[in-house]
Amino acid sequence: MTSPKSKRLIWLVVLVAVVSLYFPINRMAEGGVVLETILDPSIPLAPVWVIPYLSGLFLFILVLLWAYQKMPSAMFASFVTSNLMAAGVAYTIYLVYPTFVLRPTITGTDTLSRWMAWLYAADKAYNAFPSSHTFYTVIAWLYLWGWQPRLRIIATVMAILIILSTLFTKQHHIPDLVVGVILGVASFWVGKKLASRSSGSPLDNS
């Protein structure tokens, strides 16, 4: 019989494996459409926003490891389920309906501009709709809201900065962000329902 600790590790490994599929999908993508609105051109490229954008990657890893270590078992199962749901939907869209962003040329030579250039080189302009930065951030924020009430303010501020950074780094357009938020919220609620049914008891924070 699988121990609770082993189950948590399996959940963690599965989630990391699925999240990592973003990279081969991003690399093999081609063609597709640009979902730019009339408002997107008015949003300037601001290299300073690369800080919260890159921070979002590290914070997701930290929250995941923290949840693995400390989150109640039922809630951790729900957290992983929500992320898997969102990733499954998003990755399917990336494959069957490729979207990309027409990114500006980085001409600056300052540190933040070099970070932007590195980001553009490391992450192709594909996998735009919906924004994975956005839906992963929304899911993490919703779970932290219930699990760690004392962190609600800082978690909310960080979530807003990370989500807005997807626009000001020109990594995404407005529709990518909006649908990313919707997908994050929907996956949060569906994940909780599925995990609750699987565990046979309502999820709580205990």
Task: Flag whether 31 is in a domain.
Answer: yes
Report how far Cα 162 is from the mean position of its chain's Cα atoms.
10
Q: pLDDT by residue (tens digit) across 169-200?
A: 999 999 999 999 999 999 999 998 887 776 55
Task: Flag whether 206 is in a domain.
Answer: no
Q: Given this model, what pLDDT does residue 206 score?
A: 35
Q: pLDDT by residue (tens digit) across 20-46?
A: 999 999 999 999 999 999 999 999 999
**How many domains does the structure of the chain reveal?**
1
Task: Flag whether 205 is in a domain.
Answer: no
In which domain, by residue range, is 134 found?
4-199
Task: Flag whether 16 is in a domain.
Answer: yes
Instruction: Point out the residues of the chain with pLDDT beneath 50.
Output: 201-202, 204-206
Model pTM score = 0.93
Phi, psi for residue 8 in degrees, rounded to 5: -60, -40
Angle of helix 73-96 relative to helix 4-20, nearest 10 degrees, comes to 20
Asked if residue 105 lies in contact with residue 78, where contact means CB atoms within 8 angstroms, the answer is no
Task: Flag whether 204 is in a domain.
Answer: no
Q: Given this model, what pLDDT does residue 205 score?
A: 44
Structure letter (DSSP) for residue 169: T
